Amino acid sequence: MRATPNTASRILFRIDIPRPLVLCIFVSSRKLIYNYKKGNLMNIYTEQDKNIRKTWFLMLTFFIAIIGLGWFFSAVLEQPVILWAAVIFSIGMNVFSYWHSDKLVMATTGAKLMPDEG
């Protein structure tokens, strides 16, 4: 049987690939081509910048949500100390989670240090 482009594509699609995986590969390749045409090739630095923006967004969202809840409860109960406690709690939690999140994840997953081979 002579291999023509149509035969090759028919043979390729006989492989049992789950449809979501094919869709994911198609969407990823389309996104990569689109970014390449725009001149925005993704590399480790753009991914790092994206992660930094996401981190600051999550920290700011948590900060605003906790202070908003503190403001609401301090207004309803007419106790301004609740707002101050919410501000201190949100700042403390943001600082703690920013500096100690790696240790927290390692402890919850049960990860252990690898022994040195030397």
Question: What pLDDT digit, counting tens, does each position of 85-117 carry?
Answer: 999 999 999 999 889 888 888 888 888 878 887
Residue 6, amino acid: N
Please give the share of the chain, as a percent, with pLDDT higher than 90.
36
What mean pLDDT is predicted for residues 52-60?
91
Three-class SS string for 32-52?
HHHHHHHCCCCCHHHHHHHHH
What mean pLDDT is predicted for residues 2-15?
47
Cα–Cα distance for residue pair 88/71, rounded to 1 Å: 13
Q: How far apart are the first and last CA of the chain?
A: 57
Please tell me whether the overall predicted TM-score, pTM, comes out greater than 0.75 for this model.
no
Sort 15 into a burial class: Cβ within 10 Å, 0-12 / 13-18 / 19+.
exposed
Q: What integer pLDDT is reported at residue 42 of this predicted model?
A: 61
In the predicted structure, residue 14 carries a pLDDT above the cut 70: no
Cα–Cα distance for residue pair 118/93, rounded to 1 Å: 40
What mean pLDDT is predicted for residues 12-35?
49
C-alpha closest to that of 63 among 38, 100, 88: 88
Cα–Cα distance for residue pair 107/7, rounded to 1 Å: 54
On the CB side of 71, how many CA atoms lie within 13 Å of its CA? Answer: 6
What mean pLDDT is predicted for residues 18-23?
48
